[in-house]
Amino acid sequence: EPEVTQTPSHQVTQMGQEVILRCVPISNHLYFYWYRQILGQKVEFLVSFYNNEISEKSEIFDDQFSVERPDGSNFTLKIRSTKLEDSAMYFCASKEGANTEAFFGQGTRLTVV
Amino acid sequence: GDSVTQMEGPVTLSEEAFLTINCTYTATGYPSLFWYVQYPGEGLQLLLKATKADDKGSNKGFEATYRKETTSFHLEKGSVQVSDSAVYFCALVIAGANSKLTFGKGITLSVRP
B45 inside 8 A of chain A by CB: yes
- C-alpha angle B93/B99/B104, rounded to 5°? 40
pLDDT for the residue B57: 97
Is B95 close to A55, i.e. CB distance below 8 A? no
Q: Find the CB nearest A55 among B98, B102, B106.
A: B98
Average pLDDT, chain A: 93
Nearest-CA distance B43 → chain A (Å): 3
Q: What share of chain B is helix, strand, coil (3-state, %, to 5)?
A: 5, 55, 45
For residue A59, give every residue at least 6 positions away whose Cβ sits within 8 Å of its Cβ, in sequence order, or none.
none
pLDDT for the residue B97: 58
The residues of chain B scoring below 50 in pLDDT are none
Q: What are phi and psi of A86, to 5 degrees?
A: -80, -10
Q: Report the distance separating Cα B95 and Cα A29, nearest Å.
A: 17
Position with higher pLDDT, B1 vs A48: A48
Looking at the predicted structure, is the pLDDT value of residue A86 above 90? yes
Which pairs count as long-range contacts for A98-101, CB under 8 Å and 24+ apart, including other chains? A98/A31, A98/B95, A98/B96, A98/B97, A98/B98, A98/B99, A99/B95, A99/B99, A101/B46, A101/B49
Q: Report the distance separating Cα B100 and Cα B92, nearest Å.
A: 8
Identify all chain B residues contacting A36, using CB atoms and an 8 Å cutoff. none
